[in-house]
């Protein structure tokens, strides 16, 4: 089961997870041209080896360790992680569209500071 990045990454996006991932499956990295324009980072579900290193590295607890453990308010972002392929404009647009809809549909969560957002997940 892949690890999933969720909405506390929005507004944080510090790439601490990228620095500890042993297989470079989290994108975009800061050195990739896509970084500035992406709202959050995404984990490639087929490349993730479930090592767990990214979870404690994330300062805002944005990463869940499986699809099953991802709260219902964040389930839409599972698909965003799954479709995103760094450098592929079509899949990047699809992932960002999911994130945009998530932001628009969860004004309550977005009003919470990123560091406290995970605690508000339902
Ligand atoms: S669980 Fe391990 S392999 Fe998967 S994204 Fe996190 S650090 Fe990378
Ligand atoms: S460490 Fe957390 S907040 Fe930072 S980029 Fe990774 S998932 Fe996003």
Q: Relative to the CA of 2, which ligand 1 atom is closest?
A: 4
The CA 90 to ligand 2 mean position distance, Å, reads 23
Instruction: Determine contact, residues 59/115, Cβ cutoff 8 Å.
Output: yes
Q: Residues lining ligand 1, CB < 6 A? A: 3, 20-21, 23, 25-26, 43, 48-54
Q: Is the pLDDT of residue 1 over 80?
A: no
In this prediction, residue 20 carries a pLDDT of 98
In this prediction, residue 26 carries a pLDDT of 98
In this prediction, residue 23 carries a pLDDT of 98
Q: Helix (H, G, I), strand (E, B), or coil: what is residue 27?
A: strand
How buried is 35 (Cβ within 10 angstroms: 0-12 exposed, 13-18 middle, 19+ buried)?
middle
Residue of the nearest CA to atom 6 in ligand 2?
A: 17
Residue of the nearest CA to atom 3 in ligand 2?
A: 9
């Amino acid at each position: 089961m892949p690890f999933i990045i969720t909405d506390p990454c929005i507004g944080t996006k510090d790439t601490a997870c990228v620095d500890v991932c042993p297989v470079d499956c989290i994108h975009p990295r800061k050195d990739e041209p896509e970084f500035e324009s992406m709202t959050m980072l995404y984990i490639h579900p087929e490349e993730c080896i479930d090592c767990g290193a990214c979870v404690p590295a994330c300062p805002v607890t944005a990463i869940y360790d499986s699809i099953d453990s991802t709260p219902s308010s964040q389930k839409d972002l599972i698909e965003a992680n799954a479709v995103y392929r760094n450098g592929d404009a079509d899949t990047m647009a699809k992932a960002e569209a999911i994130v945009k809809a998530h932001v628009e549909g969860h004004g309550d969560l977005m009003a919470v500071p990123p560091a406290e957002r995970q605690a508000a997940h339902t």
